[in-house]
Each structure stands twice: as C-alpha cells, then as structure tokens.
Chain A
Amino acid sequence: MRSRTRIIITVLVCIALALLAYFAYLLPFYEFLTNDYDVSIEKLFSWEYLKTLVPLIIIIALAAVGIVLIVRLRKLLAKADKSTSHFARARTAKVTSAAPKQKPALFMVVRWIVMIAFSFILIFGGLIFGLGVSSLSIPILSCPWNTEEMTSSSCYYLSHLYELFELPVSSILLFFASTLGFIILLGRAICAFVCPMGLVQDIMDKLRRKTRTEGLAMNEKMYGALKPIKWSLVLIFTGLCFAGGNFCNFCPMVAVSPILAGISTSLYVSGFIMVFVLIAGFFKRRAFCTVCPLGYLMGLFRKVSLFRVKKDCTACTECGACYEACPMGIKMIYTEREKTDVTDANCIMCGECVRCCPEDNALSLTFAGARIYTASRKNVMSGYKPLQLESETHNDNTDKHT
C-alpha cells in the first residue's frame, strides 16, 4: 500500500511537472513591456540595467523570505520532535566560535576560480572579448537567450532538437563535435568547473555554511525519490519541442544569465523555479544538479570521459565521510570493494569526497590517468591545533584519594 501511494505521488508529480513545462508561457513571473535583446557595455552602467535586474532582485528576495520561513518552520519542528526537542535551541542559536575546519585545498581554490571566471565569461564574455568562438557549444546550463555568451551552450539545441535539424549540415556537425568533444574531454567535471548554474548553487551553499544553518540531511530514500523527477525532466528537456512546447520557459537559468547581461526578457515559470532552486540549493548542496537533465545526459558518457574518481579499496575504512560529503548522494563510492574506478554517472567531479576522505590515497581524482587530487589524512586533520592544557591551568586532584 505504501509503495503504491509512493508510485502514485511520483507519477502525479511528474505529470504536474510536464504540464507546468508545457503551459509555462501562461504563467508569467515577470513581464517586460518590450523584450530588449540589445546590450552594450554602456548599458551595463546605465539606469536601464537596474530595470532589467528587477526580476532577479525579486527572485532573490523571494528566496530569502522562503529560506527564513523554512528555518523558522524547522525550529518549530525541532521543538515538536521529542527526541531532539531539548536541543532545539542549541541547533538554531547564533554561533560565536567555529568548528575545526581543514585548510582549503589547492584543488578547491582552483575550482572556485575557474568556476567564477567561466561564469563571468559566459555572461559578459561576448561584450568584452567578442563572439569569435560563439559557434562552439559547451554542454552547460548557461542561457543561450543571453546573446552575449562567448560560447554557446548545447542546452538550447538539445532542448530544441526540432530546430537543430533545420540548421545547415556544417552547423549540425560543429554542434555535435564540440558538445561531444567537451563531454569526452571533461565529462561532468564541466558541472563542477564551468556551469554557471553550479556557481549559483555553490554560492547559496557557501552562504549556508557561513551562517552555520543546518543543512538537509539526505539519505538514500530521498535521493531515490528524486530519480523519477530527474527522468521526467530528461523527457521534458528533450521531448518538449516535439510536443510544441519550449523548455526555455521552464528552465531556471533564464532567470539569471540574460538578466545579468542586461537583456530584458520576460520570465515565465522559470522565475518561480529559480526561487525554488535557490532555496533548495541553500539547504542541500547542488540540489538542482541532482535532477539536472543535461547533467544526466552527460553522465551517459562517463565511460569515455577523461576525468575519473579512483579508489584504493583496501585503504578504505568505509567511514562514509565521502558519501556524507557528496552533493550528489553517490553511495557506491564508499561501499565499492572491488573496482578501482568508482566514477558514477552522477559524479560531478567536485572533489568533495577526496577532501573529506581521511585515509591516505584511498580516493583520488585523475585526469587521463594522472592524479590531480589525492586524499590524505594530514589534510583532514589539519584543522586540529594544539590546545592549552587544562590540567596545567587548574589544580589537579592528586591528593583526592590518598
């Protein structure tokens, strides 16, 4: 009975998603009087730019309100839960000192720099560096409605396959060659290093960590429930154009990239979805990536891409730190005991598992066989510093029992 209700709920959610995507154009989030696709550097510093930013500001405000409401609600829930009610205050109180934290790894610093640089290029790059390489397609969710993207993103033609085949043959070939080339070269590392949608979510996650808000503790069941949603999104993503819909009215990225570039384009359901993505990304790291249809399609090519996660199965103690840290909820990485290659279709190569792994060489990220980031206990323990001894500052009880 329980499983039947679960199936019914999933099917209903998927149908609702499909209907929402199909009738997206009927649900405007924010409409401009005229959609203006002309941009220039001067426009970025003008009054008009602020006007185009209005929907983004609304989205951020709504997300902030949503986050505050959820935190409040959770406080109430924690109080209501008998087993944890005693610590409801400790869990939500303002924090003055920090928990021990390991030193930032070079890999992570590089990842952030690359991610910020690419997002900048993909949003403003065309204005500054010109559109010389704009015919190359990178498989990312960076909105092609932003006409100033330095390279185009494959998401447009993948979600408008109908239009793709009306292009000249050379364009089709170039599209496939560049998309596949990037997938093989980088695989889903694109998700962690290049995708602006990833940056938006990572910023939300950073905000949560800075405010020390409790995250959503996910488990297998919850990840399992997200799977059907991901598959229905894949169907919507690739199939909507054949049914006469337009995925872009539904895609959350439309609400960020073009607006930041100074393009005033009316937002439909995508604006609402972006609010959800921001809220979800705040409480659960890379929440949208777990259901991203484009990421799923890229994951299909994991067997051929050059980025790999390698594991020394003997060194692993199955402590599950990698699983707890993984934003994509890949459990196999710590349960695997045979294979050395533990690259999963969902893996976005963010390196979080390697960062948290306390066993020397147990996990490593490799590119074309060369190790670029390896787990080490020294790094994990680097946050723990010598302390002042308490027994030296107080009297001890040497004579208590003589």
Chain B
Amino acid sequence: MTIQTNTLERESRQNKRFVSKQTQTAAKYLRRLCELSGAPEGMQPFVETLQRVYVDMLGIVAPYSRKRVGTYCVMAPQELIYAAGAVPVKLCSGNYTAFNIGDDIAPRDACPLVKAVAGFKQTGLMPVYEECSMMVVPVTCDCKKKVAGMLAQQCDVMTMHIPANRQDEDIDEFVRQLYTFAEKLETVTGNPITYETLADGFAKVGYAQRELSEFIRLKKQMPYLVRGTHAMAIMNAAAYMPADSWAAALHRVNVSLRLRAAAGQTVTSKKLPGILLTGSPIVFPNLKIPLLIEEMGGIVAADETCMGERGMYDPPVITDDSFDGMIRALANRSLRPCPCPTFADNKQRLYRLRQLIKDNHIQGVIYHVLRGCLVYDFEYKRIEEELGKLGIPVIRLESDYNEEDVEQLRIRIEAFIELIKLRQAPQKRTSLRTGF
C-alpha cells in the first residue's frame, strides 16, 4: 500500500516537474521570438497558438465535433483528413523536456525528434497528442517506423509506406494506400468521404496554400519585409491550427506586409547576409538555430525544411475532375515534388535549393542536421559540392534537443556570418566609391 502511494506520488511529482520544465522552455523561446524586431502585424494568432499548445498546454482550437488526426509527415495528405470531417494536427516534436524522457525509451542513436515524440506519448500529458483519435505515420525513415510501433500501444496508428522512387508504378501504389487511409479515416470519424467532402478538403487546404504562396512572394522581396524566424513560427503554428483559420490569419499578415512594402518599411535598414536554412525539420520550441542566426546579425531569408515553407508549398493539381482524379492528384503531390531525402534519387532538391538561392538573394546556406538524422546527413556532401560550384558558402550544423550546444552553435554561426560579411565587403566599398 505504501509502496503504491509512493510510486503514485513520485509519478505526480515527475509529471509536475515535466510540465513546469516544458512550459518554461516553450515560454522562453516564445519570448525570444517576440523580442526579435520586425514581427509583422497580425502575427499574434500564431504566437497565441504556440503559447496555447506549449505553455498553457491546451488542445487545438477547433469545434468539439471534429475528431483530431495526428500526422507525422507532410506526405499524409491533409485534404483527406478534412474530407473525413476531422482536423489534422502535425505532431512532429521539437520539445527538449520530452526529448529527455524519450532518451530513456528510445535507443541512443535515434533522432531527437522521434525521442521527443516518444517522450510526449509516454508522459501522456500533452493534450494535442492525447486528443488524437488516430495517428498516421508515413514511414520516411527507420526511426519513424519504430516510433509508429511505440505509438500503436496507446493509440490507433496507421503507417504509410513511402516508396524509394517516384516512378509511375510507385504513384499507383501510393494511390492505393491513400484509399486505405481514407477508409480508415471513415471508420475512425464515422463520416463518409465523398466527392463533395473531398472537394471541400481541397478548398480548405488550397486556400491556405494560396495565402502561403502570396506570403512567400512577399517574403522574397529585397530588402526583406519579414524575418525568416517569424515565418518559421507562422509555419509551425500551422501544425496546430485548422487550415481555414490559419489561412485567415495569414491573410492579415499578408495585408500588413503589402502595406509595409508600399510604405517602404523593411525589417532592418542594414544589408544583412541572407541565410538559407535547410536540412532536418525545425520544430517549435527548437528554434535555437534560426534565432541564433537572427541574433548574430544574419537573416533567415528562406528555409527548406518540412515544418517550414516546404510543408505546404506544393499544391495538388487536379487534372481529372473526379473522385479518383483528386486522390491521384494528392498522391502525385505527396511524392513527386517532395524533396525529402527518404527518396533514393533526390537530385531535385539541388534544383529546389538553387531556385531558393536565386529567388531570395541568399549568400550562405546553413545545413541543419539533427543528431541521428541519417538521410539528411547523407545528402550534405552532394549539396556542399553543388553549392561550392555556385560559390555559395555552406556549413553543416549538428544539434540535439538540448541547450548544451548553444554556445558552440553561436560561435560557428557568428563566424559564418562574419565570413559572408567579409565576402561582400569589397563590393560595398566599390559601390561607395562610385558614389563620390
């Protein structure tokens, strides 16, 4: 009897400690985010969402009647989830406290993202995880596969096989999987998926993507109208907001950015080195790298990460206006344009980076690798070579979900930004001289 109360007491103490540590870290990063200058007007709903989920530890804002479906990758189409009358929640985690718990469950070399997910599920304290009726885990790497098995002990989980290539037959196979996924969604939510509901799903996500493309267009403008870290926070908030309210909030941001552009306001008067952040996913509150870049005098001008812009960048194009045609459009959109390193041949990522460099006036690339994220680490070599040909400096930053490496990261980022500034210096002088 006493032993039992002791364990119960200990557990509740542990839980309390978890909650307080978790909320503290999240609040700290939110504060740093808000302290950063140049946040666009209308940014508030996104910050509030992150605060609600991580600091207040509440569920997402959506009608009760809607079931929540957790997703662990952008390759699980949100349109289908909306079609089933549910709301998708992206559950990839960046939480340090949950990572520490997951560290004891998952093997040492597993990636921190997966450890954090395992940790959250273990504690059972995060409402966004607990209120999910179902989770889908596209198997993009070995860690995801095993975490799917772990999650299945507590929740209804569906795994999706991601092929190694994007040939026609792979797409056909994926279409079949989407049908299975849709069937599963129907049984979980109890709502039938029909042509009409699927069209509604497309309309919802499509409008969000339309606002996002406008946001990206504004973000490209030189001098910069918005900081990339704020953009990343906006994209992270998309994980916990229904697409329609996210799009409405982003619309207000776009309006304010257009006003900024008209008034000639920019984020900062100085010419800052534009940095492209790419590599492993960067999930709130693990914003240390983008925040360090901005604090060290650079600017995150673009990001190519799946919790960032890339997550919702590619629109599905309906070429055959029928139920099957829409499912095919989703399968196509999920696989073909996706520059995820899970695919064997991922040369298209190089072109994607090149286009981002051109569009966003990038001067340096920071390649972020989460410790244990092998697929992204594999691609670094190739990308370094290709960017070397373009004369764009690139560094690889490996980090984990804790704050022990912050100082080391700070030194490296600072040195990298100094290097870029040195490279632009001669041009500046010549341009000044011609002025006289």
Residues of chain A at the chain B interface (Cβ within 8 Å): 83-84, 86-87, 90-91, 93, 95-101, 209, 212-215, 217, 219-221, 313-321, 324-325, 334, 337, 352, 356, 358, 377-378, 380-381, 383-387, 389-391, 394-398, 400-402
Residues of the A chain whose Cβ atoms lie less than 8 Å from the Cβ of B315? 358, 377, 380-381
Contact A83-B58, Cβ < 8 Å, known A213-B322, A214-B322, A390-B244: no
- Please name 15 further chain A to chain B contacts, defined as beta carbons within 8 Å, in addition to the given A215-B320, A317-B352, A319-B314, sorted by A numbering: A83-B180, A84-B176, A91-B323, A212-B321, A214-B325, A318-B166, A319-B317, A319-B332, A324-B317, A334-B336, A387-B204, A389-B244, A390-B242, A390-B244, A397-B59
Complex CA gap A317/B340 in Å reads 12
Tell yes or no: B207 within 8 A of A by CB: yes
Complex CA gap A320/B322 in Å reads 18
A-B contact pairs, 8 of them (CB 8 A): A90-B194, A91-B323, A212-B195, A318-B166, A356-B317, A383-B206, A391-B62, A391-B245
Contact, CB under 8 Å: B61 / A389:
no
Candidates A217, A337, A380; contact of B351 at CB < 8 Å: A337
* Residue of chain A at shortest CB distance from B56: A402
Contact, CB under 8 Å: B251 / A386:
yes
Interface centre among B186, B195, B354, B358 (most CB of A within 10 A): B195
Contact, CB under 8 Å: B206 / A381:
yes
Contact, CB under 8 Å: B213 / A398:
no
Contact, CB under 8 Å: A387 / B244:
yes
3 nearest A-B residue pairs (beta carbon):
A319-B337, A384-B206, A321-B317
* Residue of chain B at shortest CB distance from A209: B321
Residues of chain B at the chain A interface (Cβ within 8 Å): 56-59, 61-65, 127, 166-169, 171-172, 176, 179-180, 182-183, 186, 192-196, 198-200, 202-204, 206-207, 209-210, 213, 242, 244-245, 247-248, 251, 314-315, 317-326, 328-329, 332-333, 336-337, 339, 347-348, 351-352, 354-355, 358
Contact A384-B203, Cβ < 8 Å, known A83-B179, A96-B196, A358-B317: yes
* Residue of chain A at shortest CB distance from B314: A319
Interface centre among B65, B167, B186, B355 (most CB of A within 10 A): B355
Residues of the A chain whose Cβ atoms lie less than 8 Å from the Cβ of B202? 99-100
Contact, CB under 8 Å: B168 / A221:
yes
Candidates A217, A320, A394; contact of B65 at CB < 8 Å: A394
| Number of residue pairs spanning A and B whose beta carbons lie under 8 angstroms apart | 185
Candidates A321, A337, A378; contact of B347 at CB < 8 Å: A337
Contact, CB under 8 Å: B182 / A87:
yes
Interface centre among A100, A213, A221, A313 (most CB of B within 10 A): A100
Contact A400-B328, Cβ < 8 Å, known A87-B183, A99-B318, A317-B314: no
Contact, CB under 8 Å: A314 / B210:
no
Complex CA gap A221/B176 in Å reads 18
Residues of the B chain whose Cβ atoms lie less than 8 Å from the Cβ of A386? 207, 247-248, 251
Complex CA gap A356/B328 in Å reads 14
Candidates A220, A325, A381, A394; contact of B168 at CB < 8 Å: A220
Complex CA gap A98/B326 in Å reads 12
Contact A100-B332, Cβ < 8 Å, known A93-B195, A386-B247, A401-B59: no
Contact, CB under 8 Å: A100 / B179:
no
Instruction: Name the distance in Å between A194's Cβ and chain B's nearest Cβ.
Output: 24
Contact, CB under 8 Å: A397 / B317:
no
Complex CA gap A387/B57 in Å reads 29
Contact, CB under 8 Å: B195 / A219:
no
Contact, CB under 8 Å: A83 / B176:
yes
Complex CA gap A8/B209 in Å reads 49
Contact, CB under 8 Å: A401 / B58:
yes
* Residue of chain B at shortest CB distance from A378: B213
Residues of the A chain whose Cβ atoms lie less than 8 Å from the Cβ of B314? 317, 319, 358
